[in-house]
Amino acid sequence: MKTVVLAATLITALAAPAQAQAATVKQVTNTCRAGDFAGTFTLRYETSGGYHRPLGSITTSGPYIGDSGTQTLRISYTDGLGTHAVYTRTGPATNGAQSLPSGLAIPATARGTAATKFDNGTTSCTATVPIT
């Protein structure tokens, strides 16, 4: 009888599909200010398989940023070997959601950060969020 129960338990364990590790999606936000000018930066990322994977960002800034306004997004991480840039984008200032390229990955054991520098041509500020 013990052999039958042991065999049934073993067959059940082997036949049961491995449960996939579900990705945890996080959203972190920070605001910066320089006088009347301010910017808000939100980063969305998921964590799975030992990596944080940035998905997209949302930015708002003002008052009026004008034609000369720019935003620079930099995603990086620090580990025992130094600081590593994962992604950098500089372009015209836009408010709203932006997607990020797939394949960006930060080791979950490292200390990651994402920072957006908002510049309206006269004033600038940087909002930084942790990736943990």
pLDDT tens for each residue of 19-51:
455 678 999 999 999 999 999 999 999 999 999
Residues in the chain with pLDDT values less than 50: 1-19
The two tokens of residue 70 are 């720019």
Look over the chain and give the mean of its residue pLDDT values, rounded to a whole number.
85
Q: Residue count of the chain, please give it.
A: 132
- Pull the structure tokens for residue 42: 């939100």
Domains located in the chain, CATH noted: 21-131 (2.60.40)
Q: What is the rounded distance in angstroms from the CA atom of residue 1 to the CA atom of residue 54?
A: 53
pLDDT value, residue 29:
98
User: What pLDDT sits at residue 94?
Assistant: 82
63: preceding bond cis by omega (within 30 degrees): yes
User: What pLDDT is stored for residue 121 in this prediction?
Assistant: 84
